[in-house]
Structures are given as structure tokens and as C-alpha cells.
């Protein structure tokens, strides 16, 4: 059975996994997260996606997009 994954869900998953891997490898949170999104896309996704807000809220990091 195949499932569909939305763009937002994939961004959230990859962001959270990347942060978790950095924490496991270095023992501390990453200093920055780079999201390959246009500024307008990021603003809309951040405003409308609770899961993206939750993934980014767990860390005190700089976010670049």
C-alpha cells in the first residue's frame, strides 16, 4: 500500500530528522537550519502548519530560507 506525503509533511520530517541526527552526532543542537524554500513559501507554511511550527520550536536555532 502506498501513501501520499505532502510537501509540508516531508519538510517537517526532514527538518526534525536532520536536527535529531545533529544532536546524536555532536551532543548539542544545530546552530542553524537551512530550508530551501522561497521566503513567501516559508511564511505561508510556517503560518498554516502546526507540525512545522512544532518541529522548529523545539530548538533555539537560526532559520535560513
CB–CB of 12/55 below 8 Å?
Answer: yes
Reported pTM? 0.74
Neighbour-count burial of 65, counting CB atoms closer than 10 A to its CB (0-12 exposed, 13-18 middle, 19+ buried): middle
Model confidence pLDDT, tens digit, residues 23-53 = 899 998 888 888 888 999 889 988 988 988 8
Average pLDDT, the chain: 86
Q: Is the pLDDT of residue 5 over 90?
A: no
Residue 57: is its pLDDT beyond 90?
no
Over residues 7-31, the pLDDT tens digits come to 888 888 998 898 889 889 999 888 8
Amino acid at each position: 500500500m502506498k501513501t501520499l506525503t505532502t510537501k509540508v509533511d516531508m519538510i517537517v520530517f526532514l527538518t526534525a530528522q536532520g536536527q535529531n541526527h545533529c544532536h546524536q552526532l555532536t551532543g548539542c543542537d544545530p546552530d542553524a537550519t537551512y530550508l530551501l524554500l522561497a521566503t513567501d513559501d516559508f511564511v505561508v507554511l510556517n503560518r498554516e502548519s502546526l507540525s512545522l511550527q512544532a518541529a522548529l520550536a523545539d530548538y533555539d536555532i537560526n532559520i535560513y530560507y
